[in-house]
Amino acid sequence: MQSHRFLAKLVQRVTALVLLASLLLSAGLHAQNNIDGLRIWPSPANTRLVFDLAQAPDFSYFTLSNPERLVIDIANTNDNFNFSQVENQSSLVKKIRYSTAKDKKSIRVVIELPKKLELTVFSLPPTTPYNDRLVIDLTDDKPQPSIILDAKTASSERDIIVVIDAGHGGEDPGSVGSAGSYEKHVTLSIAKHLEDLIKREVGIQAVMTRTGDYYISPNKRPEIARKHKADLLVSIHADAFVTPQPSGASVWVLSMSRANSELGRWMENTEKHSELLGGAAEIIQDTASELYLTQALLDMSMDHSLTTSYDLSRDVITQLRAVTKMHKTAPQAASLAVLTSPDIASILVETGFISNPGEEKNLNNQVHRQRLAQSIFDGLKKYFKRLPPDGSLWARLKKEHRTHQVRSGESLSLLAQRYNVDVGQLKKANNMNTDVVRIGQILTIPQT
């Protein structure tokens, strides 16, 4: 009899425990989600909205027209977040508000749009420094033309076009230093300093891939360079490692294997040939008998851009060494997403290790950032003064201002005879009061 009572009580207890566990599990499954924040990252043609959430979102969405709206339903979430407190500088987002939800446990968020836009909605799992997120990308496939970013039409005296790429941005902070510094802020600051230096120089023009804190896909950055017919793409980053010890700057170029694979991809896409070959593509028919000509021209284009990238990176390294420690003293080759243009000279500058406390402090120093930008500018200026692109103003100026370094046994009269100029003209061009020249002296040779 006692055993039966014992078993009955045991069954009751087990049943109670199972019921309690079931209730706890049910509560866990239906725990109320929460919107902790909303960030809006605008760019000239795109806007990214990021909802920070306490848990992974269970969501669905649809669009409405007249007027254009994006409607998002998020299950089991409360509506205590105030959208009016969020700063919005995007021309693609008119208003964000709540609407009548499907049920009492859900919320409905309505994003009012100025016109029909391309939409991408997806969730992201937690990654430092963020928790769960719901991301909405809005893209205007017909944006207003940007006057600032328009490259000048090629002419006999065109500007050299340098596209400056500030690494990361928006929802992508890049590497994060121990003091909480974001790589995306460091790179944008240095990029803007470099842009200012280029703007002051006649015959060279800067184009920024991003001018604010917003996200651009690494694969789209080379496309911006190609769109503006760039002579050079400079991508600026800050390195990081799992330990704080590594330090120093480095310069990277496209690896030969990645260049070859990219070239193969371009070869397969005949519609892209004109972007690489310009007018030459118009006279090349995509037939089996003439594809070898396309291959040869693309090979020549790739060889030139890779050689330019490597030589220019050495000039930049020489200048960087004067203002910061170098992690690598020679150009490094890698398969990096931003370095995917076999036809455009491209370099990636790692300005230092943000994971190193000392360098993080330096990278947050405005004077140090200006020095880094100045050294990058001095490096690319040195290269383009020596080897200016054909058809550029700098190419004409170099041709008009020939120079000669005096060697042993040479005299002013001998040089005047060699270059078919008058001794008096030679002295005037070099502000000389005497016929004496010294070994190593650089003389400007006037045009005849």
3-state SS of 128-192 is CCECEEEEEEEECCCCCCCCCCCCCCCCCCECEEEEEEECCECCECCCECCCCCEHHHHHHHHHH
Residue 307 CB neighbours (<10 A)? 12
Residues 304 and 406 in one domain: no
Q: pLDDT band at 149, cuts 50/70/90?
A: very low
Q: What is the mean pLDDT of residues 105-128?
A: 92
Q: Is residue 262 domain-shared with residue 202, that is, in the same domain?
A: yes
Average pLDDT on 8-20 reads: 56
Q: What pLDDT, in 10s, does the model give residues 222-233?
A: 889 988 999 999
The answer to whether residue 290 is domain-embedded is: yes
Reference 352, options 373, 377, 324; nearest CA is 324
Is residue 202 domain-shared with residue 306, that is, in the same domain?
Answer: yes
Task: Assess whether 438 and 366 both reside in one domain.
Answer: no
Residue 17 counted as domain residue: no
Q: Which two tokens stand for residue 77?
A: 């979430």
184 and 135 housed in the same domain: no
Residue 286, Cβ neighbours under 10 Å: how many?
Answer: 11
Cis peptide before 389 (omega within 30 of 0): no
Domain of residue 205, residue span: 160-393
- Domain CATH code at residue 438: 3.10.350.10
Average pLDDT of span 18-47: 71
State the pLDDT at residue 418: 81
Q: Is residue 29 assigned to a domain?
A: no
Q: 408 and 344: one domain?
A: no
Number of domains in the chain: 3
Residue 429 lies in a domain: yes
Same domain, 368 and 431: no
**Same-domain check for residues 93 and 41:** yes
**First-to-final CA distance of the chain:** 126
Same structural domain, 195 and 125: no
**Could you say which of 107, 139, 171 is where a domain stops?**
139
Confidence (pLDDT) at 11: 52
What CATH number is attached to the domain comprising 127?
A: 2.60.40.3500
Average pLDDT over every residue of 423-440: 88
Tokens representing residue 348 in the block: 């990636």
Q: Please report the sign of the dihedral spanned by the C-alpha atoms of residue 373, residue 378, residue 379, residue 380.
A: positive
Q: Which residues of 339-362 are buried (b: 16+ CB within 10 A; e: fewer)?
A: bbbbbbbbbbbbbbbbbbeebbeb
- pLDDT per position as a tens digit, 317-358: 999 999 999 999 999 887 666 666 667 888 999 999 999 999
pLDDT at 31: 57
More confident residue, 272 or 332: 332
What residues does 239 pair with on adjacent strands?
A: 353
Same domain (yes/no): 248, 374:
yes
Residue 369: pLDDT over 90: yes
Query: At which of 81, 106, 139 does a domain end?
Result: 139
CATH number for 198 = 3.40.630.40
What is the amino acid identity at position 110?
A: V
User: In degrees rounded to 5, what are phi and psi of residue 207?
Assistant: -130, 125
